[in-house]
Amino acid sequence: MKFTLSWLREHLDTDASLDTILVTLTRIGLEVEGVENPGKALAAFRIARVLTAERHPQADKLQVLSVDTGDGTPLQVVCGAPNARAGMIGVLGLPGAVVPSNGMQLKVSAIRGVESNGMMCSSRELELGDDHDGIIELPADAPVGMSFPDYAGIDDPVIDVSITPNRQDCMGVRGIARDLAAAGLGTLKPLAVPTPATSGAGPDVRTDDTEGCPAFYAQSVAGVVNRPAPDWMQRRLKAIGQKPISALVDITNYVMIDLGRPLHVYDRAKVSGALVARRAVAGEQVLALNGKTYALGDAMTVIADDAQVHDIGGIMGGEDSGVSDTTTDVLIECAYFTPQAIARTGQKLNLTSDARGRFERGVDPAFLDDGLAIACAMVLDLCGGTASGVTRAGEPPLAMPSFAYDPALAQRLGGLSVAPERQRDILARLGFAVTDDWQVTPPSWRRDVDGPADLVEEVVRIEGIDSVPSVPLPRPDGVARPTATPEQKIERKVRRSAAARGLHEAVTWSFIPQTQAAVFGGGAWTLANPISEDMKVMRPSLLPGLLSAVQRNLSRGASSVRLFEVGRRYLADAAGAPDERATLTLVLAGERTPRGWQAGKPQRFDAFDAKAEALALLEAAGAPVANLQVMPVPSTAEGGEAGDAWHPGQSATLRLGPKTVLARFGMLHPGVLKAFDIAGDVAAVELFLDALPPKRASGFMRPAFAPPALQAVTRDFAFTVSPTLAAGDLVRAIKGSDKAAIVDARVFDVFERATDEGVERSMAVEVTLQPGEKSFTDAELKAVADKVVAAAAKLGAVLRG
């Protein structure tokens, strides 16, 4: 629903600013979707008088104009319009202005060797019309120097409001003004309903379909002249996107948008006999005003004469009886159509219109006489003629329910305490009739209100939903407090930790194609009646869904993809029964770091990045990271679960002992990536949350951390080791050699050299010792060193001399 600010002020007496009006509209439930001011685009265009017009010395079709802009100094402008002449008043675009039609910014320039300080503009160039034969000619009394938007009345913001389906009363500017007045933004101006002079009986109309068209009112006007609508009406219609056609058509559109009352005008010379609202005969056709022919069904309401159908009732008129420039006698239709019938007809014909949008919401059934009188008076005023009497066929549904209302409901249902007299004032401003004993009757234009709860909604939205205090809901006795299981808490921890590490959470389908499941060892659960073949197998791994997401992102130009998902794998236990396993899976693809002047080429993810993520997330989950062992991923033939999906030599598992696998990490097998059409490497991690050891129960809180009083001591050891010895195994052995003194150990150097017997590898380990109550003696340090050497020797490591 669009309208201009000046149009709104025709109904609302207010001094509120545009910003205040916009905020209030959204606050009371009429959400503002946008605001445009066409006048801003023309702010640099002025009204100017042509003082002289002389032929351009270098071009026969150009003239050199001397133009008065009202500031006392004439400007020289080169113009090619044929109607440019001395004495005329037009519109000048000054240097710096942007021409709306082509986006060109005007500047001082030389045209064929003559300086030009702007441009005299045509209607098309300013997007005010299609005329491009010459520049705009304004009346002789147009004020020279005045801003053109101010003079033309187009410096008028256009407000676009989203109307919910239940607010049929706000499908007209007056309804919106009524709501703003109720919200305290001014006073609703009284609606002037004229009483046109009439002569003779009304036109011959009737309704034979009282279910689809309960009321059909009509009035004729003879001797009209269908000229263009006045400028003020055309400006308003153009501003909201309506194309002016002629005065008779524009009047009906204007009344519909202004007051929410759709109307239709027939050329009486094209109507044979009486106009009747009736059900269509199956197979009848009508050529609508949109140029399309529609086949009608016997459940549709139409307006027809003795010869043919002229109107799809309440939705769109027909070409055969439409008014034209030669129309002299018209019939104005003002009818009430049942919302349900309009909706069914519009849906079946796939036909939308502004009239349908209002009728299917429900227009005011009590506004037939007034709407017809207003339209007839406008026709007489703008087109002349003589009006007939009014024919009223049928009865509109005017009965409105009345129900008791308790003002305390605003607090009980809406959570907002509003004084009873304030509630009475709000309801009265909205048009409700409220008796002293709180019997409330909705107005005829509010057929969506059918009970006390609706009145609470009206009071709360006008008073302000933002005024409703935030209070906790009371907890009834016997309702348990919310709890989370240890497993749920672990999932929350790892989810938050993954997000904090820069990974993006994804949610993928639990159903995957059978071909994808086969890549990961096949699925244990297969649906007998799947939605589609692509959703047939319950996933044995979260990797298929994440790899599909990786492929989509990389194919759309993403340079780096970091995704994780917390979900369930669906496997089978030893007995073949279904088994769900909680898992966190993450994938890293593309660039780890982009190219740069320091780093050079972009760095890609590798298996060590996956290991770092796995250790960090396991630590967040509370796993004993220091005790983990790195072991190879067993192949599927060796009994490993989907082991063939991982790259041999670039993947491993993290275990607590040889059997408890907490995670798999590393690079995925190239064959897997080919199956998912992924170019490049992908690192991945699978954290088996169900395998995490439960937290030990403890009846005592652990003592607070107290930093050691003495400084730590470090000692370096260099060992000659087998090329097949894992660094983690050596570090673990050294840490376990003296748990009381050794608090940390790390490999800080690895050296390899080729010998006649093969490859010789050296590892240097830094061991951190923490004294307790007193410093270490030399003897104590030597004893610890001997334990370190002995522990390393059990793994075949020899201390280098």
The span from the CA of 437 to the CA of 433, in Å, is 12
Mean per-residue pLDDT for 431-453? 94
* 393 vs 213: CA distance, rounded Å: 10
**Structural domain includes residue 491:** yes
d(CA 795, CA 738): 16
pLDDT given for residue 471 in this prediction: 85
| Whether residues 248 and 379 fall in one domain | yes
Query: Are residues 684 and 747 located together in one domain of the fold?
Result: no
Beta strands in 316-429 (DSSP E): 316-317, 329-336, 386-394, 403-404
- Is the predicted pLDDT of residue 7 greater than 80, yes or no? yes
- pLDDT tens profile 747-768: 999 999 888 888 889 999 999 9
724/163 Cα distance (integer angstroms): 73
Residue 323 domain-assigned (yes or no): yes
Task: State the alpha helices, DSSP H only, in 400-442.
Answer: 409-414, 420-429
Residue 383: how many CB atoms within 10 A of its CB? 22
User: Are 358 and 415 part of one and the same domain?
Assistant: no
Q: Give the DSSP letter of residue 727.
A: H
CATH at residue 280: 3.50.40.10
Whether the pLDDT of residue 324 is over 70: the answer is yes
Q: Is residue 193 included in any domain, yes or no?
A: no
Overall domain count for the chain:
6
Domain limits at 6? 2-37+156-188
Instruction: Tell me: do 170 and 216 sit in the same domain.
Output: no
298 and 441, same structural domain? no
What residue numbers does the annotated binding site for Mg(2+) cover? Answer: 448, 454, 457-458
What CA–CA distance (Å, rounded) separates 68 from 454?
62
Residue 640, pLDDT above cutoff 80: no
For residue 507, give both structure tokens. 């949610």
Let me know how long the chain is: 801
Question: pLDDT tens digits, residue range 64-76?
Answer: 999 999 888 899 9
- Convert the pLDDT of each residue in 212-242 to its tens digit: 999 999 999 999 999 999 989 998 998 898 9
Query: CATH no. for residue 460?
Result: 3.30.56.10
Which is more confident, 132 or 117? Answer: 117
Are 266 and 286 in the same domain? yes
**Residue range 344-399, pLDDT digits in tens:** 999 999 999 999 999 999 999 999 999 999 999 999 999 999 999 999 999 999 99
How far apart are alpha carbons 742 and 781 in whole angstroms? 11
Residues 134-168 have pLDDT tens digits of: 899 999 889 999 999 888 878 889 999 999 998 99
Res. 428 pLDDT band, cuts 50 70 90: very high
d(CA 271, CA 104): 51
Average pLDDT over residues 687-706: 78
432 and 491 co-located in one domain: no
Domain boundary among 373, 394, 415: 394
Q: Which residue has the higher pLDDT, 132 or 729?
A: 729
Q: What tens digit of pLDDT does each residue of 55-105 get?
A: 999 888 899 999 999 888 899 999 999 999 999 999 999 999 999 888 889
Question: Quick check: is 474 in a domain?
Answer: no
- Show contacts of 244-251: CB within 8 Å, 24+ apart: 246/323, 246/324, 246/325, 247/379, 247/382, 247/383, 248/224, 248/323, 248/327, 248/330, 248/379, 248/383, 249/323, 251/375, 251/378, 251/379, 251/382
Show the tokens assigned to 521.
Answer: 């060892």
pLDDT, one tens digit per residue, over 523-581 is 889 998 888 888 999 999 999 999 999 999 999 999 999 999 999 999 988 787 888 99
Q: 394, 418, 440 — which closes off a domain?
A: 394
pLDDT digits (tens, 9 = 90+) for 455-479: 999 999 999 888 888 888 887 888 7
Tell me: do 721 and 792 sit in the same domain: yes
Residue 431's pLDDT band, with cuts at 50, 70 and 90, is: very high
Does residue 470 sit within a domain? no
The mean pLDDT of the chain is 92
- Statement to judge: residues 70 and 184 lie in one domain: no
Is 104 within 8 Å of 55 (Cβ atoms)? no
CA angle, residues 45, 48, 52, in degrees to nearest 5: 135
**Residue 708 included in any domain:** no
Q: Report whether 635 contacts 592 (CB < 8 A).
A: no
CB within 8 Å of 206: residues ≥ 6 apart: 216, 274, 276, 277, 393, 394
Q: How confident is the model at residue 279 (pLDDT cuts 50, 70, 90)?
A: very high
| Nearest in space to 504 (alpha carbons), one of 452, 465, 558, 576 | 558
- Residue 694's pLDDT is 83
Residue 196 lies inside a defined structural domain of this protein: no
* CATH number of domain containing 735: 3.30.70.380
Residues 625 and 596 placed together within one structural domain of the fold:
yes
β-strands 293-295, 301-304 pairing: unpaired
Percent of the chain with pLDDT over 70: 99
What pLDDT shows up at residue 699?
56
Q: Do 684 and 744 share a domain, yes or no?
A: no
Query: Is there a domain that residue 707 lies in?
Result: no
DSSP 55-116: E-TT-TT-EEEEEE-SSSS-EEEEE--TT--TT-EEEEEPTT-B-TTT-PBP--EEETTEEE
Q: The domain spanning residue 599 has which CATH number?
A: 3.30.930.10
The pLDDT of residue 306: 92
Binding residues: 448, 454, 457-458
499 and 457 within one domain: no
> What pLDDT, in 10s, does the model give residues 600-611?
899 999 999 999
In the structure, what pLDDT confidence band is assigned to residue 44 with cuts at 50, 70 and 90?
A: confident
Q: Averaged over 445-450, what is the pLDDT? A: 92
Q: Compute the distance between CA of residue 365 and CA of residue 336 in angstroms, rounded to an integer.
A: 6
Average pLDDT over residues 297-317: 94
The highest-confidence range among 127-136, 326-335, 520-529, 754-763, by mean pLDDT, is: 326-335
Q: Exposed (0-12), middle (13-18) or buried (19+): which is 401, by Cβ within 10 Å?
A: exposed
End position of a domain, from candidates 375, 394, 413: 394
**Residue 700, pLDDT score:** 57
